Amino acid sequence: MMLRAHVLDFWLLLRKIAPNATAILLVLLGAALFFQAVEAWPEASLLNCFVRAFYLMIGEAIELPDAWYLEVLVFLLPLAGVLLAAEGVISATVLFLNKSRRQGEWNMVVASTYKGHTVICGMGQLGSVLCEGLHSAGREVVAVDIDEDLPTVVTARRRGIPVIIGDMSQPDTLAEANIRHASCVILCSGDDLANLEAAIAAKELNPDAEVHVRVYGKSLADRISAALQQDIHTFSPYASAAEMLLSQMNSETTDSPSPRQTAP
């Protein structure tokens, strides 16, 4: 587990500096193509021109033909290299110093490695219990909530559960939870409309996922299940809890011995 964490941490750093590294390579390639086009060194290949452009970028002195436009590159290439490299280093440093932002990036990276996982949207009492139960059972879980400071969100992250912060009804937020590779999605926030909207968005992103939607009223849940053409299952936790309680009470009543009157 620690090895995986270190690998993901290193990958996060690479992802952060990759755009700047790519930009530096493109600048070097453009300079090499320019050198070859103007025949700065007639005998030099493209690779050799690329290497010489790299030397110029890091400030190494190399022999250049006497042309003003080539002398300009002696100034521009090192400047471009410094600016691009510095911007990448600063971005990576800010990411690792900014704990909140780093944690958000980290959770997205971890979620992107999951397949066949369960996405739980809404980390209230119901969502947190489901999240903890599935995680304890060894299932891979990704949680989604809009409030980063919610105690259940903090607790989940401490236990190694990735939590994506954002609006669950937005496709971008669901994509960050890697919903395209999820096997099950549970929408259990306290807002029925948001749950339904997120359920439809989840089905659009992953038609094969099993989707369960929390709806307050059982009658409404039943009507929605019947009306929706998509394979979306609705449930009412209050109705389920009441049925379970009644079943338990009836079982206790059946098991208890009937009082018998004894003859005097």
SS3 of residue 34 by DSSP: helix
Instruction: With a cut of 90, say whether residue 163 has pLDDT above it.
Output: yes
- Edge-first strand listing for the sheet containing 184-187: 163-165, 141-145, 118-121, 184-187, 210-214, 232-235
pLDDT over 90 for what percent of the chain? 27
Mean pLDDT across 117-123: 95
- Nearest Cα neighbor of 238 from 202, 214, 261, 259 is 214
Higher pLDDT, 86 or 91: 86
Distance CA 105, CA 161 (A): 14
Mean pLDDT across 9-16: 70
Instruction: With a cut of 90, say whether residue 241 has pLDDT above it.
Output: no
Instruction: With a cut of 60, say whether residue 87 has pLDDT above it.
Output: yes
Instruction: With a cut of 80, say whether residue 246 has pLDDT above it.
Output: no
How would you classify residue 166: left for phi > 0, otherwise alpha for psi between -120 and 50, otherwise beta?
left
Beta carbons within 8 Å of 230's beta carbon, 6+ residues apart: 200, 203, 211
Q: For 41-72, how does the pLDDT look when each residue is reduced to its tens digit (9 = 90+)?
A: 888 899 988 988 888 888 777 777 777 777 77
What is the reported pTM?
0.60
CA atoms within 13 A on the CB side of 180: 8
Q: In the numeric block, which tokens belong to residue 55? A: 């030397």
Chain centroid offset of residue 125 CA: 22
Higher pLDDT, 213 or 109: 213
